[in-house]
Amino acid sequence: MIWTPGVARAARRIAAAAAVGGGGLTALGVTAYGLLLAEGLVARKVIGRPHGMEGPTADGSYGDFPGVPISLVMLGDSTSVGLGMSDPAHTPGVLIANGLAAVAERPVRLRVFGRSGAASVELRPQVDKALKEHPDVAVIFVGANDVTTQTPPATAVRHLAKAVHRLREVGAEVVVGTCPDLGTVRPIGQPLRWVTRRWSRQLAAAQTVAVVEAGGRTVAFADILGPEFATNPSEMFGPDRFHPSDRGYAQAAYAVLPSVCAALELWPEPRPARDAQIPTGLQPIYLAAATAAEKPGTEVTATRVEGRATGPYGRWVTMLRRRP
């Protein structure tokens, strides 16, 4: 497990660099960056593209209910489009849309604008298309390609924050599934696996800071597929051992669904987490972001304490696990 205070400090540095447009190379330094450049190409060759680059067409209306449809848009990378699935019903967008429709008892109109291979710097054209749909809620899965393409974390975070801000400006709620822990992906060998694990979690923490500051909320993917991959990889991951299987996608979708419902004020107040190792309730943003990066399924959203949005250690947030 990565030392959380170190992740918090890295998240603070990345978020600060993103805010001012500055530039340290990465959170890990020049040596680690060079290692990723050299070994990343090997990992990508091993993974390959057995699924191609297109997911199944999932756009449509879901939920046999009366009323004005809720507009849901999916943005981000291959996980947002369900790459590897042949049946649209198994894609995250459709799973979230059907779940949202059942909770709201209203139809949900889904449009998927994510693109396989997309990194955070490529979110802008996706947001351009999404805004034309006048979305009620946007779900963004992004981060993995920022690591595999060695995008400087500050650059990735800056583009994600801009995307969230633009969506919030038009009144859309935004839920971001943060960067998954690529250290759980077996085709990535050591020492690259250790480097990608550390980079993934530092990026996820910085994403949380930026998204909450921009008015959205995050759900940590962390190693949400890690334990299942270790014990049952043939069922949780697809043929390329990188993208999820239908069960893997379902687990990711159902981790996000409660936060989507809560963002639209459709979900009741959550019960306290049963896991005693998961501190819930009020936290300073950097500590919450670092802790969430270690704990899959943890939501972080802004809150106020005695009418104030910030405290002595930064913005106040609520960190919790919602029950799917």
Domain boundaries along the sequence of the chain: 4-48+56-321
Rounded Cα gap, residues 302 and 310, in angstroms? 10
Return the pLDDT at 85.
82
Rounded Cα gap, residues 205 and 151, in angstroms? 16
Return the pLDDT at 310.
83
Rounded Cα gap, residues 275 and 273, in angstroms? 5
191: preceding bond cis by omega (within 30 degrees): yes
Burial of 307 (0-12, 13-18, 19+ CB in 10 A): exposed
Helices (H), the chain: 4-20, 30-47, 78-81, 92-104, 123-131, 144-148, 153-169, 192-213, 226-231, 233-236, 246-263, 285-294
Mean pLDDT of the chain: 79
Q: What sign does the CA torsion over 262, 303, 127, 26 have?
A: negative
Rounded Cα gap, residues 43 and 268, in angstroms? 43
Contacts of 321 (CB under 8 A, 6+ apart): 270, 273, 275, 278, 280, 295, 297, 298, 299
Q: Does domain 4-48+56-321 have CATH number 3.40.50.2000?
A: no
Return the pLDDT at 33.
54
Show which residues are catalytic.
78, 240, 243
Least confident range from 88-92, 223-227, 281-285, 288-292: namely 223-227
Contacts of 45 (CB under 8 A, 6+ apart): none
Least confident range from 69-73, 189-193, 246-250, 282-286: namely 189-193
Return the pLDDT at 150.
77
Is 203 within 8 Å of 14 (Cβ atoms)?
yes
Return the pLDDT at 188.
54
pLDDT > 70: percent of the chain: 71
Q: Average of pLDDT values for 209-238?
A: 68
Confidence band (pLDDT; 50, 70, 90) for 67? very high
The two three-digit tokens of residue 115, written as one number: 């693109």
Least confident range from 49-53, 126-130, 146-150, 192-196: namely 49-53
Confidence band (pLDDT; 50, 70, 90) for 195? low
Which residues, listed in sequence order, are joined to residue 112 by a DSSP beta bridge?
A: 74
Confidence band (pLDDT; 50, 70, 90) for 48? very low
Rounded Cα gap, residues 39 and 34, in angstroms? 9
Return the pLDDT at 77.
92
